[in-house]
Amino acid sequence: MTIKEVCEKYDITADTLRYYERVGVIPPVTRTAGGIRDYRKEDIAWVENAICFRDAGMPVEMLIEYVKLYREGDSTIDARTNLLKEARETILEARKKYDIALEKLDYKIGRYELAQKTGVLKWFDDEEMRRLLTITGLVMSAVMIASCAASAEAPSEQSSAEETAAAVTESETEDTAVSSEASDMPDITESGADTLVVVFSCTGTTKGVADRIADVTDADLYEIVPAVPYTDEDRDWNDENSRCTVEQNDPDVRPEIGSDPIDLEGYEVIFIGYPIWFGEEPRIMDTFVESYDFGDATVIPFCTSGSSDIGSSGTNLAANAGSGNWLEGKRFDGDVSEDELIEWIESLGL
Ligand SMILES: Cc1cc2nc3c(=O)[nH]c(=O)nc-3n(C[C@H](O)[C@H](O)[C@H](O)COP(=O)(O)O)c2cc1C
């Protein structure tokens, strides 16, 4: 095949093909007696590899190294295997980022499409804010937060949504200050084996974060599995009649948990993770916290979301639980690293 034919077949420019060959992304291409490139089957296979792996985000340097090792012969089989495994990890990481970006996009598109129908762009449901801003909501929040503060000696004692937001900002600033010193601290929780991570996760995002928290704290993991699983249709936030929308619109709904109960006895630190649904905790989280006595355990909510913050979901859960020393929670991106999680956990002073 001529270079022109290869360009047409793979929709790639001749400059790129020449560049790949010049820097070693592909081995030297077969040439005619007159020195003209004549892409044979094996040359084409290298071009296909290069296009495929570059499209998937594999760095040029890795491809160059692979071709170099290949040309050195069988003594580099181990090195090539390792390099391919490394490349695989790189591409898996990239795929995770794509999945998260797609999920965020889907969420945002959904919100915009809803706005096209209703004329109002809302990033999350107003229900929670409306409730917070009613006098009853304010009184309940103040009483609940004050009682948490008293029992847990937690620093938060806010009486309005605005103050809560301000406290989150302050605490994030403190987190940053702590994190610069954090790397010298060997143990991130005193309790180790007494730590439990509870998680509810429909599409695996929060579960991924929970797994990492369990890893770094050497904790046990308990997954809340709904008795009736949530289907894609159930989770359709654009459908006002979908199961999630209906459940989240009714603060009294308590979906049944299908997983075996867990004995909380002996756990001193309990992380509780969930996705944000319409600005709040999924109702099944309320089922969970109302089913258990957290005693004196320190309970730390965490969540993932498309973009919304943790809002008052943590304080709602604390209020519904009625036991445990609840700390302020935090929202994470699904791809939060173990290092970031360690910094956060260290900043909690457990
Ligand atoms: C019914 C429903 C409602 C959601 N509402 C919000 C929201 O209000 N704000 C937000 O940022 N993300 C929202 N999301 C996106 C999820 O919070 C996000 O994708 C989360 O990371 C999913 O976690 P999971 O994979 O552990 O289930 C919603 C998702 C669903 C299914």
pLDDT digits (tens, 9 = 90+) for 214-237: 999 999 999 999 999 999 999 998
Residue 107 in contact with ligand 1 by CB distance below 6 A: yes
pLDDT, residue 127, reads 53
pLDDT, residue 350, reads 87
Least confident stretch, 10-19, 179-188, 222-231: 179-188
Atom of ligand 1 nearest to the CA of 248: 1
Quick one: which of 257, 249, 240 has its CA closest to 280?
249
Atom of ligand 1 nearest to the CA of 242: 1
Residue 205 in contact with ligand 1 by CB distance below 6 A: yes
The domain in which residue 330 lies consists of 123-347
The gap between the terminal CA atoms of the chain, to the nearest Å, is: 66
Would the pLDDT of 117 be above 90?
Answer: no
Q: Cα of 113 to ligand 1 centre, how many Å?
A: 16
Q: Cα of 72 to ligand 1 centre, how many Å?
A: 50
Residue 111 in contact with ligand 1 by CB distance below 6 A: no
Here the tokens at position 50 are 């290069």
Residue 208 in contact with ligand 1 by CB distance below 6 A: no
On whether both 163 and 42 belong to a single domain, the answer is no
The verdict on residue 243 lying in a domain is: yes
- Domain count for the chain, please give it: 2
Would the pLDDT of 266 be above 60?
Answer: yes
Taking the CA atoms of 101, 112, 243 and 289 in sequence, report the sign of the dihedral they define.
positive
pLDDT, residue 46, reads 96
pLDDT, residue 330, reads 97
Residue 230 in contact with ligand 1 by CB distance below 6 A: no
The verdict on residue 109 lying in a domain is: no
pLDDT, residue 181, reads 36
Q: Cα of 333 to ligand 1 centre, how many Å?
A: 11
Would the pLDDT of 170 be above 50?
Answer: no
On whether both 191 and 270 belong to a single domain, the answer is yes
Which residues lie across from 299 on neighbouring strands? 270, 326
* Higher pLDDT pick, 129 / 22: 22
The verdict on residue 105 lying in a domain is: no
Least confident stretch, 74-83, 184-193, 256-265, 334-343: 184-193
On whether both 173 and 247 belong to a single domain, the answer is yes
Domain end point (choices 89, 104, 136): 89
Which residues lie across from 199 on neighbouring strands? 223, 273
Domain end point (choices 47, 71, 89): 89
pLDDT, residue 152, reads 45
Atom 27 of ligand 1: nearest residue by CA position: 202
Q: How high is the mean pLDDT of the chain?
A: 83
Q: Mean pLDDT across the stretch 322-349? A: 95
| Contact criterion met (CB below 8 Å) for 301 and 310 | yes
* Higher pLDDT pick, 58 / 286: 286
Helix count (H) and strand count (E) of the chain?
Answer: 13, 6
On whether both 179 and 293 belong to a single domain, the answer is yes
Here the tokens at position 125 are 């449901």
pLDDT band at 110; cut points 50, 70, 90:
confident
**113 Cβ contact partners less than 8 Å away, ≥ 6 residues apart:** 238
Domain end point (choices 37, 66, 89): 89
Would the pLDDT of 100 be above 60?
Answer: yes
What digits encode the pLDDT tens for the residues 61-71?
A: 999 999 999 99
